[in-house]
Amino acid sequence: MSLPPHESLSSELGELLAGDDARRGIERAQARLAELDVADEDRAALAPLLRLAQLRLAEQEQHKKTRERLELLSAASFEGILVHIEGVVIDVNQRLAEMMHCLPEDLLGPETMRRCVAPEDFAATLERVVSGYEGAYTVTVVRPDGTRFRGEFQSKQGRLGERPVRIAAVRDVTERERTLFLLREGEKHLHDLALGGFDFMVVQQHGRIVDVGGKAEQVLGYTREEMLGREPLEFVAAADRPTAAQAIGENRPGVYETVLVDKAGDEIPVEVLGVRSTLNREPARVAGFRDLRAARRLQSEQRKLEQQLQRSQRLDSLGVLAGGIAHDFNNLLVGVIGNASLLLATLTEPLDRQAAESIMAAGERAATLTRQMLAYAGRQDLSRREPVDLAELFRELRTLLDASLSKKAQVSLAIEEGSVVIGDRAPLTQVMMNLLTNASDALEGKPGKIEVRARLVHELEARWDEALGVRVGPGDWVLVQIEDNGVGMDEATRQRVFEPFFSTKEHGHGLGLAACLGIVSSHGGALLLESEPGRGSSFSVVLPAAPAARQVTTPRTPVAAPSTPCRVLVIDDEQLVRTQLRRLLKLRGYDVEEACDGSSGIEAHGKRPADVLIIDMTMPDIDGAEVVRRIRASDADVAIVLSSGYQAQAAAERLEPGSYQVFLPKPYSLAELVHAVEHARSRISVSK
């Protein structure tokens, strides 16, 4: 049976419209209808079929536009896009292929993630895929050519038709991370630099502490958590709060000093550098704090050192002055004492002899004063160095001073066994005698105590940095302490008590303690005074301890001196001294010749050699040491007596051992002069 005309045409048009291209199918169907003469009722029956084709066409057009728009967005995107189902990549955009330096189809498939994620990040990435993680994360991406970049993934869950898929946007953040790393590194450098210049830093905002860095806990005792949220002024001392409040309130940049209070309540001086800054785009203030305690201590120590240096320089200057005066005065005393000796040798009348003896006594007292001045200047004769047992020395002094010390003073001795020093017994006795007398005078006739202690020490306390004399350190020392509970001294007196001619006593000449300091210094020791008004004084002396092997001395056997007069050459620039020596020696039968300076003396001895030379140490052209060296170069047998108001130790340091036989300190008596000459002759005879 044949189909009705409209049914046959409907079947034909359906075949034409059945293709994938709806537009072309409609065009073919419309062309077929135009060829046939179709009745109106048949055409009406075919209308739904054509409308269905039109709807299909519209759907295809819309789908095409959507597809083109998606492709355009994908191609124009700055980010790579991939679609995967449980790690199997089913689609990527061109931008991702460009990032990976490959074609899009190279990134499809189940192995893409394993190939393109760095091994160190693979486990974490797989966990995110399995758990359905949504959000941003960063991994290291490996390209097919082996190069790498840091990729930031933004993962979202989606659907493709009925299938759930995951869409990930990929961005190359290598440069961003490098910039962030450099920024963080720069911030760390600035942070380290800031903390290198400051002990700790505080960030303030809206009147509260919002951040703390550095060693705040070490300085203040508060932890960071204890400081956060509190007002900065809570940590400022009450007296300094107005200044600090003004600086904080005005957000004034600059440097100022203030005082903080730590957790224990102690005040801490600090230097503050405040700068304006921002935090979360709002104004903030950053302050760096530097603990000034160490700097203040250093400044205090520096001031003390400067004061000690000034004091030492002042005492040294006074020592030079005292030494110079004593030297010149000694030359005058040679004439006074020498002429008095001559008078005593020739006078027979009692009144005349009494006058001459008074002159001698006055000269001896003047000589004692000059010796004290030379001791202060460190120029006393210390050629006789030997072990001195302080226990024996103080026992002798106790007996000697019982009559002169205050009767109301209780003197106690505590001398440890082995307190033996190396030095000259006579000046050391003078030091201890002066210190004991000074302690007795400090009691002012009232009942009191004087304690004397001596012991061996090896390490000295830090307070000895303020001592006068030689700089002392670890070693073998004997420490002598003489303490009283008398009136004490104020700071002004302590600063001047060792100056020559300064005295707190009505009839004192101010040379006692000055001489003590000079003697101790010349022995290689130091002297420390500690005193307060009303609390007494303590004089501490450290002297080099004698080695154990040298603590027992063998008495010297005197050498018999020849008494036959001989020829003596006196070399001295002082006319008064030369004249006096010539008169004294001629009185004893010596043949005496004079020379007014070193050059003349060398010339005179070369023309007519003498048996004994008496040479002054200080002369204007050539000093005594140089005269000795030149004469010894040509004459090894002549006996030499060095004479000066200065110490023999200085001469010994400048001359070879054995260059001279005797040192004769000025002033001297006739007996001392003759003994020096004969002793020098005897030593030369023994050496031959």
Pick the more confident residue, 62 or 408.
Answer: 408
Whether pLDDT at 10 is above 70? no
Q: Which of 51-55, 150-154, 155-159, 203-207 has the lowest mean pLDDT?
A: 51-55
- For domain 567-687, which architecture applies? 3-Layer(aba) Sandwich (3.40)
* Range from 57-61, 367-371, 544-548 that averages highest in pLDDT: 544-548
User: Residue 550 has what pLDDT?
Assistant: 43
How do residues 488-535 score in pLDDT, each as one tens digit? 888 888 888 877 666 666 555 556 677 788 788 878 888 898 998 988
Whether pLDDT at 479 is above 90? yes
Q: How far apart are CA 551 and CA 547, in angstroms?
A: 7
Instruction: Give residues with Cβ within 8 angstroms of 501, minimum separation 6.
Output: 509, 510, 511, 514
Pick the more confident residue, 390 or 69.
Answer: 390
User: Residue 9 has what pLDDT?
Assistant: 57
| Tokens coding 376 | 């202060």
Whether pLDDT at 600 is above 80? yes
Give 110's DSSP letter: T
User: Residue 556 has what pLDDT?
Assistant: 39
User: Once rounded to an integer, what is the mean pLDDT over residues 396-400?
Assistant: 74
User: Residue 67 has what pLDDT?
Assistant: 59
User: Residue 554 has what pLDDT?
Assistant: 37
Q: Where are the alpha helices (DSSP H) in 198-281?
A: 216-220, 224-227, 241-249
> Residue 89 pairs with which residues in a beta bridge?
84, 109
Q: Class of the 386-550 domain?
A: alpha beta
372 — pLDDT class (breaks 50, 70, 90): low
Whether pLDDT at 569 is above 90? yes
What amino acid occupies position 348? T
Whether pLDDT at 474 is above 60? yes
Per-residue burial over 496-525, b = 16 or more CB atoms within 10 Å of its CB, e = otherwise: bbbbbebbeeeeeebbbbbbbbbbbbbbbb
Instruction: Give residues with Cβ within 8 angstroms of 438, minimum separation 6.
Output: 512, 513, 537, 539
- For domain 77-172, which architecture applies? 2-Layer Sandwich (3.30)
CB 627 within 8 A of CB 606: no
Whether pLDDT at 17 is above 50? yes
How do residues 253-265 score in pLDDT, each as one tens digit? 888 889 999 998 9
- Stated as kind and residue range, the H or E segment containing 586 is helix 575-587
314 — pLDDT class (breaks 50, 70, 90): low
> Residue 415 pairs with which residues in a beta bridge?
454
Q: Where are the alpha helices (DSSP H) in 452-556?
A: 491-496, 512-522
431 — pLDDT class (breaks 50, 70, 90): confident
Mapped onto helix, strand or coil, the DSSP state of residue 385 is coil
Pick the more confident residue, 667 or 212.
Answer: 212
How do residues 180-202 score in pLDDT, each as one tens digit? 877 776 666 566 666 666 888 88
Pick the more confident residue, 400 or 661.
Answer: 661
Pick the more confident residue, 45 or 334.
Answer: 334
User: Residue 637 has what pLDDT?
Assistant: 86
User: Residue 2 has what pLDDT?
Assistant: 39
Q: Which of 52-56, 374-378, 548-552 has the lowest mean pLDDT?
A: 548-552
What amino acid occupies position 64? K
User: Residue 20 has what pLDDT?
Assistant: 59
**Percent of all residues in the chain with a pLDDT value above 70, rounded to a whole number:** 73
* Topology of the domain covering 178-291: Beta-Lactamase (3.30.450)
User: Residue 353 has what pLDDT?
Assistant: 81
Q: What's the predicted TM-score (pTM) here?
A: 0.41
Number of H helices, E strands in the chain: 21, 23
Pick the more confident residue, 535 or 22.
Answer: 535
Whether pLDDT at 383 is above 50? no
CB 46 within 8 A of CB 4: no
User: Residue 636 has what pLDDT?
Assistant: 81
Strands 409-415 and 420-423: unpaired
Whether pLDDT at 543 is above 70? yes
Measured at the alpha carbon of residue 284, what is the angle toward residues 281 and 289, in degrees to the nearest 5?
Answer: 145
Pick the more confident residue, 17 or 344.
Answer: 344
User: Once rounded to an integer, what is the mean pLDDT over residues 91-119?
Assistant: 89
Residue where the block lists tokens 């951040």:
211
44 — pLDDT class (breaks 50, 70, 90): low
